[in-house]
Amino acid sequence: MAGRADANRRRIMDIALTELLRDPDASMDQIARAAGVVRRTVYGHFPSREALMSALVDDAANAVELAQAEALRDVDDPAKALARSMLAAWEIADGYRLLISLAQRSVTVEGIHRRLEPVRRECAAMLQRGLDEGRFASPLPAIALAYIREQILFGLLQAVNEGVLSPAEAGRSAAVTALTAAGVPAEEATELVAGLVPA
């Protein structure tokens, strides 16, 4: 029975994400109709729209954490690791781009940052290794650089949402910007990222 309930919850979340990306003001009723269930079923899993949004943000944060862990696996060069982690994080974040903007209205920004804590810690460790090895050069400590990396992603998500930047360009830009923020020369950062994601 628990397996079926989990499957229903997952299905409602997937449909809710699709509906909210299509219509940011989608109500719980609209989501229930799209999922082919009665409103009571949706409310049985998510007592409010904010609870649903919170669950979707948790899902996004978990996906970013998994993508980053995969991107960092078996990579010795900290600069390459940083570029790969940014590209992986962008790929997930881009899929949740409008949701994150919505979440900033309904889920506190503090809540989003708290959910990203495991990603930030892992990133800070990788940045520290780069600083220790002299691959990165920054007056900032690794944890501050990890916060900057996070804000680069949020800033570029907003830029894409407002039509200032294309999603395809934003991923590469995020990686290059994170590398240069860590002290990698711009030309080297651009070449490194181009080698990972050809234009």
User: pLDDT for 27-62, tens place per residue?
Assistant: 889 998 998 888 898 899 999 888 888 888 888 888
**R_g of the chain computed on alpha carbons:** 19
User: pLDDT for 94-120, tens place per residue?
Assistant: 877 766 666 655 555 567 778 889 999
pLDDT at residue 126 tops 60: yes
Q: What local confidence, expressed as pLDDT, does residue 177 receive?
A: 95
| C-beta neighbour count of 181 within 10 angstroms | 19
Q: What local confidence, expressed as pLDDT, does residue 17 receive?
A: 85
What's the pLDDT band for 142 if we cut at 50, 70, 90?
A: very high
Yes or no: say if 36 and 19 are a contact pair by the CB < 8 Å rule: no
User: pLDDT for 164-193, tens place per residue?
Assistant: 999 888 889 999 999 999 999 999 999 999
Distance, CA of 47 to CA of 61 (rounded, Å): 21
